[in-house]
Structures are given as structure tokens and as C-alpha cells.
Amino acid sequence: MASSIIKKTTTATGFIKAIESGSKHLLLKRFTLRFPEQKLKFVGDGYQFDPKRGVGIAGARGRHILFHEKCTGCQLCAITCEGIAEAIGMVKISEKWKQNKKGIMPQIDYGKCVFCGLCVDACPFYALFMTNDFELSSFTKEHLIYTPAQLAVKPKYDGSVDIKIDKRGAWHG
């Protein structure tokens, strides 16, 4: 029975055990991730979706990447986002693409985006994926709005730190 699991200890042994258990950790490596210097390694290049099979491909959900040569301006991503965060708006683009007759592409406001990735699930043309880039802070609200040209840039992310476990404990390294 569960109640028999608790060991009855006296006050003295209880204190000694607690101190012993805590003082062991003086010799261990610290677990904390020293963030700006160290960055976590993610699986793959970010969350992607395969509309043919109807299933996603595992990856981190950071900011989006937009492939201009595939986007048709169908607005399905914006329609999905309407009920979630209203972060995606369709804007006119100056360049001409054969498959995009309306000449519109999504523009994403990262002040509103919740990074759920359901817009990626909605895209039937492999045009909108997500990347590992999560460092999006800026000094003004306007800089958080990413235009289609900004979304097309593939970010550089060089996270290489993983959690390692051995006899001495766990640490980021």
C-alpha cells in the first residue's frame, strides 16, 4: 500500500540525510543553460507539413519561412489564423509570379502570432513552413511585422547544445 512507502525517520537522521543529499550537488556540474552563449539544438529545420499525407514533420516552431515560387495567394493561411491570432494579413507584392495571379502573399505580425503552426497545416502548396529562429525581439511594434520579402530569408541558427546525462548527473553541453 502507498502509505507504507514512507519511511519513518527520526528528526536527526532526517536532517542528516537532507544535508547529505544536498551537499552531493556541490561537486556536480550545474544544469543551467547559459543562454546567449549556449543555444539548444532542435530536431530538424523546423516544423513542416506534408499535405498529401496529411501529417506534419517534427521540428521546432519558430518564425515562418515563405517560398515565393510556390505561394499562390490562396489566403488559406490567413483564413485559418482569423479565429486564432489574426496575425496573418495578405499584402500586395511588387514582383510577378506565374502561379500567383492576384499578386498577394502573407505578411505575419509576430506581436500577435502564437506559434501554433496551424497555418502551416492549412497550406496545400508546400509554401509556408516554420524555422528554428525564435529570437524575434525588437524595440518597436512595427519591426515585429514581417513582410513577404523578410519571410523568404532563411535564418541562420547554430544551436548545438544538448542535455547530457551520465553518472555525475545532467548538464547542458
Partner 1 sequence: MSKEYDREFETKFQETTRLGLEVVKESEEDRLMTLSVGPQHPGSGHFRFTIKVDGDYIVYCDPDPGYVHRGEEKMSEYRNFIQNIPHLERPVIHDSTNITYSYSLAVEELLGIEVPRRGQFIRAIASELNRQVYTLYWLAIYGIFLGHSTMFMWPAGDRELFIDLLTALSGARVTHAYNIPGGVRNDAPNGFKEKCLQYVKYFEKRLVEYEDIFYNNPLFRQRTENVGILTKEDAINLGVTGSVLRASGIPYDIRKVEPYDVYDEIDFKVQYMKTCDSFARAYVPFLDMRESCNIIKQLLDKMPDSGEVRLKLQSNPKGQPGESYKRVESGRGALGYYIVSDGSPKPYRVKISVGSFRNILALPHLLIGSKLGDMPSIYWALNYWPVEADR
Cβ closer to partner 1: 86 or 95? 86
107 in Cβ contact with 90 (< 8 Å)? yes
Cβ closer to partner 1: 69 or 159? 159
> Which among 124, 166, 130 has a CA at the least distance from the CA of 146?
130
* 20 belongs to the binding site for partner 1 (CB under 8 A): yes
Residue with the three cell numbers 520579402 = 149
Which of 45, 70, 84, 147: binder of partner 1 (CB under 8 A)? 84
CA distance readout (Å), 76 to 95, 98, 143, 164: 21, 19, 24, 42
Which of 29, 40, 45, 155: binder of partner 1 (CB under 8 A)? 40
Which of 78, 88, 108, 121: binder of partner 1 (CB under 8 A)? 121
Which of 39, 63, 65, 80: binder of partner 1 (CB under 8 A)? 80
> Which among 77, 84, 135, 85 has a CA at the least distance from the CA of 106?
77
Which of 56, 89, 111, 155: binder of partner 1 (CB under 8 A)? 56
**How far is the C-alpha of 55 from the C-alpha of 49, rounded, in Å?**
6
CA distance readout (Å), 78 to 101, 113, 172: 17, 12, 39
* 85 belongs to the binding site for partner 1 (CB under 8 A): yes
* 88 belongs to the binding site for partner 1 (CB under 8 A): no
Any idea what the Cα angle at residue 99 is, between residues 98 and 102, rounded to 5°?
95
Q: How far is the CB of 95 from partner 1 (least distance, A)?
A: 29
**By the criterion CB under 8 A, which residues form the site for partner 1?**
1-3, 5-7, 9, 11, 14-15, 17-18, 20-22, 31-33, 40, 42-44, 46-47, 53-61, 80, 83-85, 114-118, 121-122, 130, 163, 165, 170
